[in-house]
Amino acid sequence: MYIDLIFITNLLIDGALLWLTAWMRKLKPPWWRLIVAAVVGALYVVMMFVPQLSFMYTFMVKLGLSLLMLWITFGFGSLQNYIRNMGAFYIINFAVAGGIIGIHYLLQNSGDIFNGIWFTASGGMSFELKIGFWFTFIGVFGMLLWFKMVHSTRKQLESRSVFMGEVTVEIGGHRVTCRGLLDTGNQLSDPLTRTPVMVMEASLWEDRLPSGWCERLADGEPDKLVMELEHMDFAWQDRLRLVPYRGVNRTASFMLAIKPDAVEIRIGDGVHHASKVLIGLDGGQLSGDRSYRAIIHPKLVEDDAQSPAAEPLETAGNL
């Protein structure tokens, strides 16, 4: 029964390692290939109980076995792809093994560590590492899950960085610069003039807006703010617009927008300028990690609006 448990455990672990390798390389091998390769790897571990096969526990045999498992799972294809698959497979294995050993040491006290140290007759020092079966079993899948989450987050950040740019907006001689995210699905525009709307956090303009406006915009009262302008003096009053839109729950709402004098958007090596645009004021926080504070309308960065040689707007400082 002990051998059966070892076989099933290594079958699951090898299958998970190969599956994560395929996910990392964006490959979709047939499920039967993955199972056969995992069975081959699990059978090799069972061979440790056969003394006559002790010659198979050499570095070259282990390397050959890993290459065989990769060939069964993904095929050969080309030498370049095969090397990439092998690199991803070993990176995952080393990351998981290193994580398990690190957690094992973290949970040990100094007495447990020194109990595993012993000296040889020649004066050398060795260390005996004892890790429990269930600790290894749970640790492997915990580290695999952690590795997948970290890698997914990294890919998301890399993908998002392609659509990130620097936005500079000028209104009445006041300039604000912030990071913006290009949202290709954003089609928000003024229904009457078809003017695209670029959304920005209202807090960026807090020193230029009447007192308390940011909090009231967060509460969803842009129409009431416009009605109250009759009783106050606001320099940008003639620039204000109310843009209707439908929220996620399909309810009709209004967004308070301001007509700017100029907008400059820098994404990569391209510089885009626009004057026919509205700046929608959002009372909340557009990004949880504050990596961007504006949502760029795709029409503002179309090729016909690009002007790499244009003079950049002078900015009062990045926010």
Digit-by-digit pLDDT tens for the chain (319 residues) are 467 777 777 788 788 888 888 887 888 888 898 889 888 888 887 777 777 776 777 778 888 888 888 898 888 878 888 888 888 888 877 777 666 656 655 655 554 444 444 444 444 444 444 545 555 556 566 666 766 676 666 566 555 555 788 999 999 889 999 999 888 777 888 888 889 999 999 999 988 888 888 888 888 778 788 787 777 778 888 888 888 887 665 567 888 899 999 999 988 778 899 888 999 999 888 887 788 899 999 888 875 444 444 445 554 444 4
Catalytic residue among 112, 183, 238, 303: 183
Domain assignments of the chain as residue spans, ordered by start: 2-160, 163-305
Q: pLDDT at position 156, please?
A: 60
Residue 242 contacts residue 256 (beta carbons within 8 Å): yes
**What Rg do the C-alpha atoms of the chain give, in angstroms?**
30
Establish whether 183 is a catalytic residue: yes
Q: pLDDT at position 129, please?
A: 46
Give 240's contacts (C-beta < 8 A, 6+ positions apart).
226, 229, 256, 257, 258, 259
Overall CATH class of domain 163-305: mainly beta
The token pair at 88 is 């991803």
